[in-house]
A and B are shown apart, each in its own frame.
Chain A
């Protein structure tokens, strides 16, 4: 098993993965290690927010600014984007390029809707007097949700890149792993939002 140039059929619709000593796809392993490290990143930001959420320094409190029904709709949009993402993966594994592009674009549009909603929410908060400089609560809130929004934006760019590659005929079914990696990243930003939505917005 020392010949690392030998290829074997992977688990995702005929893609090729280089044989490894572990028998696992190294790219996928690296992606999971990266996502594990991202847990630490967001864990630190969420911890900071939980510590500072009540330190408003006379500025608006979370009860003054949060609009739970509005944020619930945003959360729903992001959750559904995970469905369209996994349907895109299923499409490329079947070799269905047309549906792949439909689901990729649907995912990117849902992500863009989420970002648009977040931009609107931030604008409303600033109008209500809560900025990143107002208080520790404002700082920790904007840094946490802002970094999450930046991750979603990077995900949208990756989705549009995959869409373009497919449109140009440069994303055959044998490259399904690329979509799987983008999908893992996308689902990760979704599960981070699951935690943020509950802990930041819903916890009393």
Chain B
């Protein structure tokens, strides 16, 4: 059985996470204005977004320290959300082409 929770971070650790999030946000905005990175923009921004997402979920929402069951509930929602996006994208692009529906 999972334990309910483990020790949570200290206030100083919370502040360190917030500073980290602020720096990553600044980097996100900065890379948008760097023309040389235009082709790599989506993967770079995607990685930074995921890092920020899990920093907030892991430390501020305590998913990193709480029971794995909570983590699974939340991850299930995320996986289903991504699946919805995949299905919608497929329906409106590939399926439309296969059935000859004009977009």
What residues of chain A lie closer than 8 Å to B41, measured between beta carbons?
A: 202-204
What residues of chain A lie closer than 8 Å to B53, measured between beta carbons?
A: 191, 194-195
- The answer, among A24, A33, A50, A191, for a CB contact under 8 Å with B56, is A191
B16 to chain A, nearest CB (A): 10
Most buried by A among B53, B81, B85: B81
- The answer, among A10, A72, A80, for a CB contact under 8 Å with B4, is A10
Contact A75 B25 (CB under 8 A): yes
Contact A24 B85 (CB under 8 A): no
Q: How many residues of B contact A (CB 8 A)?
A: 49
Nearest opposing residue in chain B for A43, CB measure: B81
Given contacts A50-B85, A191-B53, contact A40 B77 (CB under 8 A): yes
- In which size bucket is the chain A interface? 35 or more
Contact B45 A203 (CB under 8 A): yes
Contact B84 A188 (CB under 8 A): no
CA distance A198 to B66 in the complex (A): 28
Nearest opposing residue in chain A for B86, CB measure: A47
- The answer, among B28, B70, B88, for a CB contact under 8 Å with A48, is B88
Q: What 0/1 readout, one digit per residue, does chain A (157-191) give for beta carbons within 8 Å of chain B?
A: 00000000000000000000000000110011011
Q: What 0/1 readout, one digit per residue, does chain A (62-88) give for beta carbons within 8 Å of chain B?
A: 000000110010011001101101110
Contact B73 A68 (CB under 8 A): no
Contact B61 A24 (CB under 8 A): no
What residues of chain B lie closer than 8 Å to A35, measured between beta carbons?
A: 73-74, 77
Q: CB within 8 Å of A: which residues of B?
A: 1-5, 8, 11, 14-15, 17-18, 21-22, 25-26, 28-29, 32, 38, 41-42, 45-46, 48-49, 52-53, 56-57, 59-61, 66-67, 69-70, 73-74, 76-78, 80-82, 84-85, 88-89, 92
Beyond A24-B69, A80-B22, A187-B61, 10 additional pairs, beta carbon < 8 A: A29-B69, A29-B70, A37-B77, A39-B80, A40-B81, A43-B81, A47-B84, A47-B89, A83-B14, A191-B56
